[in-house]
Each structure stands twice: as structure tokens, then as C-alpha cells.
Amino acid sequence: MPEVRLAHLGVALVSGLAFSLSFRLNQYFDDWFVYTPGISFLFIPAGVKLLAVLVGRWPAILGLLVAGVYLGAGIWPDLSRSAVFYFAFVSLMTYPISAFLVMRWLHIQTDLSNLRYPHIVVLSLAASVCNGVVHNWVYMVQGVSSVDVLWSQSAAMALGDFMGCFVVVSLFHTLAVLLKMQRSRMK
């Protein structure tokens, strides 16, 4: 049992670090892809988040939540810690909820053994649209943005998240397929 807990801790740590690093990396692309502060047309951390949720499950979700709160505190130093936690939690939970529903709908196995590119597109689209709408709705309710930009910012965020999800999960899937092919050749 201790090995399982250590493995879960490792998954949480790797997921949180990968998300944080991808967030910092994504800032280098801001000159090319930023729509408005906080919204990018290519948001790689969304893909890291989706991949972590798909592969790491609950331990990854906990690591992503800690990283999201940490990054949120740096983005919004004037907001209360509870508001930062709320934003991080809501933004994060759109991904596992969307992934769970899509996986059930498309009969994707929990070990992802039957995951195909069309599944990646649907998973990416569902998580991105859900996150874009919910995220911006929460911003509006909390007074961070206004109702007149809700749909334009939701669409822009959904597009950026979709691009990030599709790029990261597709790269992971391609690497997994290549490794599987390499292993079968070595036998």
C-alpha cells in the first residue's frame, strides 16, 4: 500500500510541475497568440491538464489543483485565497467532468487502449468548450469580466484550449503509438 501512495504522490507532483512549466512556457508565445490578457489562442497548459487527467486520474487532479492555486495567486495577488481556489477548482473540474462524459459516450476504455485521433478531437473540443464557457461565466459572476464579453472571450478561450489540448494529447498519442511499434519490432 505505501508504494501506491508514493506513486500517487509522484503522479500529483509530476502533473502539477508539468502544468506549471507549461504555463510558464506558454508565456513565451504570448506575443503571437494572446487574444486578451489571460486568454491565448494556443494554450498548451490546457493540453497538459487534459493529458494529466486522462492518464493520472485523481492524483493528477490534486496536483493540478495545487499548481492552479499557486499560479492563480501569482496572477491575482489582490484576490482572496478563497477566490483564487474557487477559480482554480472550477477551471480544473471542467476537464475531468468533460473527459468522463466523453469517455462514456464514445466507449473509450479507462486505460486508453482504444483511444484514436477522432476521440482526441472530441475530448479536446468538449473540455475546451466547457472550460471556456464555465471559466468566463465564473469570471463574469465574480466581477473579473463583464457580460458583454462573455461569449467572445469564451469562444477565444475555447479555441486556445482546444489547440493546446489537441497538440499535447496528439503528441502523446503519437509517441505512445511509436513506442508500441518499436516494442513490437524488438520482439
Angle at 106 between CA 14 and CA 175, to 5 degrees: 40
Q: What is the CA radius of gyration of the chain?
A: 17
Q: How confident is the model at residue 35 (pLDDT cuts 50, 70, 90)?
A: confident
Q: How far is CA 49 from the centre of its chain?
A: 3
Task: Supply the CATH number for residue 108's domain.
Answer: 1.10.1760
Q: How confident is the model at residue 178 (pLDDT cuts 50, 70, 90)?
A: confident
Q: Longest C-alpha distance within the chain, in Å?
A: 60
Phi-psi region of 39 (alpha: psi -120 to 50; beta: other; left: phi over 0): beta
Taking the C-alpha atoms of residue 30 and residue 119, their distance in angstroms, rounded to an integer, is: 29
Per-residue pLDDT at 1 exceeds 60: no
Per-residue pLDDT at 175 exceeds 60: yes
Across the range 129-149, mean pLDDT stands at 83
Tell me which of 34-38, 59-63, 80-84, 171-175 is least confident.
34-38
Supply the mean pLDDT for the chain. Answer: 86
Q: Model confidence over 91-115: pLDDT tens digits?
A: 899 999 999 999 999 999 988 888 8
Per-residue pLDDT at 53 exceeds 90: yes
Per-residue pLDDT at 157 exceeds 90: no
Across the range 8-30, mean pLDDT stands at 90
Number of domains in the chain: 1
List, in sequence order, every beta strand (DSSP E) within the chain: 34-36, 39-40
Range of the domain at 160: 2-186
Across the range 116-120, mean pLDDT stands at 84
